[in-house]
Amino acid sequence: MMLRVAMDQVVRGLVSASKSIIKCRRLEGKVAIVTASTQGIGFSVARRLAQEGAKVVISSRREANVNSALAQLKAEGLEVSGVICHVGKEEDRHKLLNETISKYGGLDILIPNAAVNPAVGSVMECSESVWDKIFEINVKSTFLLMKESLPYLRKSKSPSIVIMSSISGYQPFSLLGVYSITKTTLLSLNKTVAEELASEGIRVNAIAPGVIKTKFAKALYESEEANEATLSVIPMQRLGEPDEVAAVAAFLASDDASYITGETIVAGGGMRSRL
């Protein structure tokens, strides 16, 4: 246990140090939208994109969360703006896109990160209403935002979409059955849309995070028993940090990944995912 605590402290120190030495400006002049980006992975992605020079529009369903995140990011000297957006509402998605174009004049990077999991349990115990809610936010809103953003992305010189899937899309979590199904669906959405849009120069890729230390994944590590069970399937023997996922997103959104489309990068500490 003491060794694990020491390892966690080292990882936090390395991640903290990396924030202060980021000098790469791969996204200079680009405009990005990151949904559900006021905390957790979404917040770290928004911050990393802005650190690399992008003008970033963050969003959340709650005004207080948007204001809090904006204050923190602006205090770091980053170029960010915020919009209240429930991705399941058409009018909110349109407002997000319209305000982005109005403020920054275009769109180069779209990262639909919003996801929900309102119930824990097996697939066959899931109610119809819960099934519909999870698919509405995790899959349908991702698809619709991608579709609605196309007129703007088509005007970009290097447009990129990065879908946020999950390692559970490859290896389902028993208590997150329907959530896992939606994340598998996003893997297929990624492959299919990437092929459709490749001829237009729009790259589409995905990230499949493993167990990342966020509030969303708290049930997988908050108790000692849950933490031990989770670490037992992670070869690196630690949880991931949101900034480690953000680094992957920045790479995929940048021209360093200019010949990559239709791919999914697993950031899971070596967890089993695929061949």
Query: What distances in angstroms separate CA 174 from CA 122, 218, 237, one per listed residue?
Result: 6, 15, 20
Task: Give CA 183 to chain center in angstroms.
Answer: 12
Which residues are known to be catalytic? Answer: 179
Pick from 133, 128, 106: nearest CA to 118: 133
Cα 50 to Cα 81: distance, rounded to the nearest angstrom: 11
DSSP 95-132: HHHHHHHHHHS---EEE---------B-GGG--HHHHH
Residue 113 in contact with residue 35, Cβ under 8 Å? yes
Paired tokens of 162: 């990065």
Spatial separation of the C-alpha atoms in residues 217 and 221, rounded to whole Å: 7
Tokens of residue 33, six digits: 């939208």
Location of structure tokens 């004049």: 105
